[in-house]
Structure 1
Amino acid sequence: MEKQFCFNYQHFAELSELSEADRKLVAEAERATANAHAPYSKFHVGAAARLRSGKVLYGSNFESEVYPAGLCAERSLMFYAQANYADDPIETLAIASDPSERECYPCGQCRQVMVDVERRQGVPMRVVMSGRGTATVVESASLLLPFTFVL
């Protein structure tokens, strides 16, 4: 039996088309790239999350000499949020990179953790993926990984 998976997303040809709140969150994610430790890939990633309370949290990637012990910006942020603000759900997560030659999309591990966070907090998490002056937005991280791992 053939089935089909389709989803809606928004694409913004210019960051100025985003809402003011999303533009500010993307700017915070861009700032977070400065804290990245990426001596090997030279690919600095930053993430910023707006919690329901309005608080903004930050994460950046960290590469280790003991590969693969590093951690992506999105997961470092989400693990911190879940450890310290578990009762304050992440409403929107923005991702940016430096260099920013294209939009920055989360890896498979990050996508799975995003879905895990959504399940734990009981509400969807919007994801804003930005780069090169454009952005793509999905209303739920689960749209980025339709076949998730479930225990």
Structure 2
Amino acid sequence: MEKQYRLDYEHYAALSELPEADRLLVAEAQQATKRSYAPYSKFRVGAAARLRSGRILHGSNSESEVFPAGLCAERTLLFYAEANHADDPIEALAIASDPSERECYPCGQCRQVLVDVERRQGSPIRVIMSGNGSASVVDQAAKLLPFTFIL
């Protein structure tokens, strides 16, 4: 039996079209790219999360000489949030990169961890993927990985 998967998302041709809270979160993610350590790929990624309390957390990618020991910005942020703010769920997470020739999307590992965090906190995470002056947004991370790993 054939089935279909449909992905509903929002696309903003200009960051100025984003709702203000999302636009501010993208700006925070852009700032986080400056704290990235990417001497090998030269691709700096920043992430910013807004918690239910309104607090903003940041993460950036970090590369290692012993590839693949580095870590993506999203997972850096998600693991920090769970370790230090587990009682304050993540409502939204923005991703930005430098250079930003196109929108920055999470890798497969980050998508799985985003879904894991959604499950543990019992609420969706709005994901804002920005770059080159535009953004695409999903209202929950699970939409980015419809066939997730489940133990």
Alignment TM-score, normalising by the size of structure 1: 0.99
Q: Deviations over 1:78-111 (max 9, x none)?
A: 0000000011000000000000000000000000
Identity %: 75
Segments of structure 1 that go 5 or more residues without pairing to the other structure are: none
Partner of 2:17: 17
**Which letter does structure 2 place at the counterpart of 1:44?**
R
1:128-143 correspondence to structure 2 within 5 Å: 128-143=128-143
**C-alpha displacement of 1:47:** 0.1
Post-superposition, which runs of at least 4 consecutive aligned residues in structure 1 deviate over 4 A? Answer: none
Alignment RMSD (CA, Å): 0.4
Q: Secondary structure at the match of 1:77?
A: helix
Deviations 1:16-46 (CA, angstroms, capped at 9, x unpaired)? 0001111100000000000000000000000
- Match of 2:46, SS state, is strand
Task: Tell me which amino acid in the other structure corresponds to 2:135.
Answer: A
* Residue of structure 2 equivalent to 1:51: 51
Gaps of 5+ in 2: none
Q: Tell me, what secondary structure is at the counterpart of 2:97?
A: strand
> How far apart, in 1, do the equivalents of 2:34 and 2:55 lie?
20
Task: With the length of structure 2 as denominator, give the TM-score of the two structures.
Answer: 0.99
